[in-house]
Amino acid sequence: MTEFDYGVVENTQPIMVSGVYRSGTTFLSALLGAHSQLKASSSTIKFLRFCLGKYGDVSKEENYRRLLNDTNKRVQVRWNLSINVDKILQQLKVIPQVTYAQLYDMMMNSMLLDGQSTATRWVEKLAVQWEDIPFFLNMFPNGRVIHIYRDPRDVAASYKAMTFEPGNTFLDAAFNFRSAMENVDVMLEEFPDRLLIVKAEEISKNPVSMAKKICMFLNLDYEDSMINPSKLHTDGEDWSSNTSFGKSYKSIPDATPRWPEHLTRQEIIFIEMISQPFFARAGYESSGFIPTKSDWDKIYSYITEPFLKERFEKWLLFGLGSQGYRTDPYMHEMNIVFPERFSKKDD
């Protein structure tokens, strides 16, 4: 098995939810999870980040056992969920050559559907991993991906209000927005019928029509439960409490912009500048701010930070955005779950 040969599972129709953090990925997953033929999880197994390619040749028993046991412990510690490892190991005994795709499908079915034979389709939300969408679609030829985007100014405002990252890291929302839009543009050419791009603000303004559009994409009949806040659900993250502002949601989140109250003039200029031309193409209206000398001085201070400076130089030299978090989410979670193996001193 080569580095990029992760296997194929054809008799399943899974769904991946993709997007930049704070863009409505958890809410979209919960909306999908409200459908009777779907069972959704949010940031649980995170196979593309934590498993794919990280356990070597998984046709070898010692490797796939390690992947299964590690993943089971992670979801237990982080979400109080579980995977029936023993049952999966029994099922694998009759498979001539185990692949990553098979393990992915079996773990998701075990965690969400108790491993039963059913027509219910599983959904996994994984933010900030859009570059790996082709791996997902190639592993599951009948799979689908929904990528959601949101005004990068509101993403930054939300991230600013809740992140543990230092300094002006929240401004990285602009580089992430740009990277996502660059990538999905290319992927739509390769997978025009298997990748759907949705706008968070449109779901808030027109939940019924957008839910129907999503169902049509997934070849499902629309169900009213999808816009009933009391029915929205995912295993893992709770959509209703996943907010940076105020109390938990009791209704579908509205599309009122929060960035005018929570971002400075210079932060707004910076985000709009980095996000263009995708910002305008997505239908977002510019603030109209034209930077003064004092604005430029303040903006320059943002890119003296090494992290944002690296992002800025990549954009300036190659016109490209960047995928990822400042703190490596893989090491962050593995340090929590396996401190004996992934101690911070080894970062």
Q: Which domains does the chain have, with CATH numbers?
A: 15-346 (3.40.50.300)
Q: Which two tokens stand for residue 11?
A: 């008799």
What are the residues whose beta carbons fall under 8 Å from the beta carbon of 21, sequence distance 6 or more?
127, 128, 155, 159, 173, 176, 325
**Amino acid found at 55:** Y
pLDDT per residue as tens, the chain (347 positions): 444 579 999 999 999 999 999 999 999 999 999 999 999 999 999 999 999 999 999 999 999 999 999 999 999 999 999 999 999 999 999 999 999 999 999 999 999 998 666 779 999 999 999 999 999 999 999 999 999 999 999 999 999 988 888 999 999 999 999 999 999 999 999 999 999 999 999 999 999 999 999 999 999 999 999 999 999 999 998 876 766 556 666 778 888 899 999 999 999 999 999 999 999 999 999 999 999 999 999 999 999 999 999 999 999 999 999 999 999 999 999 999 999 888 755 44
d(CA 33, CA 28): 9
Taking a C-beta distance cutoff of 8 angstroms, is the pair 29, 234 a contact?
A: yes
